[in-house]
Structure 1
Amino acid sequence: MADAALPRRGVNLCTGAAATDCVIDGDTIRWAGQIIRLQDIDAPEIRDFKCPAEQALGNRATERLRELMGSPIIELTRIGSRDEDRYGRKLRVVSDGRHSLGAILVAEGLARPWDGARRSWCG
């Protein structure tokens, strides 16, 4: 069951701590006053990247997530018993009402399914 079905809003990249309803990176958004980690994927880092290839792919994933967040409806769904990650971010599957946005990023080669293990994006 969805936590929230929200009407379409303009979605930008987060540019500071005060930014709202924006994309932080390829697997994290700030939405309705909370930081949301896309529960079903792992995307490359854009800040603490380990190599230029990770940064480049992370930038592409971030921009694509920003585009996908422009869907007319965005649903946030909690799956499983875990509500937050160790950083206090809410864990949610984010969808357009039909498809997981994370699954779209995975299908496009911009992220990988989250399996609980951190792995390098650098080869």
Structure 2
Amino acid sequence: MLALNWPGGNASLADVEQQPQALFQQVSSPQFAICGTVRRTCVVDGDTFWLDGIKIRIADIDTPEISQPRCDYEYELGMRATYRLVDLLNVGPFELRTIGNRDEDQYGRKLRVVIRDGRSLGDQLVSEGLARTWTGRREPWC
């Protein structure tokens, strides 16, 4: 279902949007909550969620860690990002788009950009101060 591959090398979100054959999946309106022991459709943290049993990493952002934060500020901001992502995903339908030439990360999560009404939900989290644009490496939050 989500095993989509972007033809070609590195691609930006603009590249994906300009391609008439842009690879994406339209997602209806599932209801998300914070993940518990059963992980089917839920939010793990500000940049990771499960959809129909598939783990997805939002490819265009990085948010603070909540499972192993390095300071109280990181944990608090990470929790705000997590709850905000739940809210954003629950607003209504969205698209999952592939970007770049990697389908999965090293942890087996599908790498996708989440789009609603032509805007990345990751960009929205960045504009709200809850995330950073992904640059290819993690930066400290503390």
Deviation at 1:24, TM superposition (A): 0.6
Q: Which aligned segments of 4 or more residues in structure 1 are displaced greater than 2 angstroms?
A: none
Match of 1:62 in 2: 82
1:54-91 superposed Cα distances (whole Å, 9 cap, x missing partner): 00000000000000001321211001111111111010
Match of 2:36 in 1: 15
Looking at CA atoms only, which structure, 1 or 2, has the larger radius of gyration? 2
Contact preservation (8 Å) 1:2, 1:75: no
Distance 1:27 1:13 in 2: 12
Give the structure-2-normalised TM-score: 0.81
CA RMSD of superposed structures (Å): 1.1
Match of 2:53 in 1: 33
> 1:94 aligned to 96, 114, 124, which one?
114
Match of 1:3 in 2: 24
Distance 1:120 1:89 in 2: 22
Aligned residues: 121
> 1:71 aligned to 66, 91, 101, which one?
91
Deviation at 1:7, TM superposition (A): 1.2
Match of 2:138 in 1: 118
Secondary structure, in 3 states, of the residue corresponding to 2:119?
coil
- Alignment gaps of 5+ in structure 2: 1-21
In proportion to residue count, which structure has more strand?
A: 1
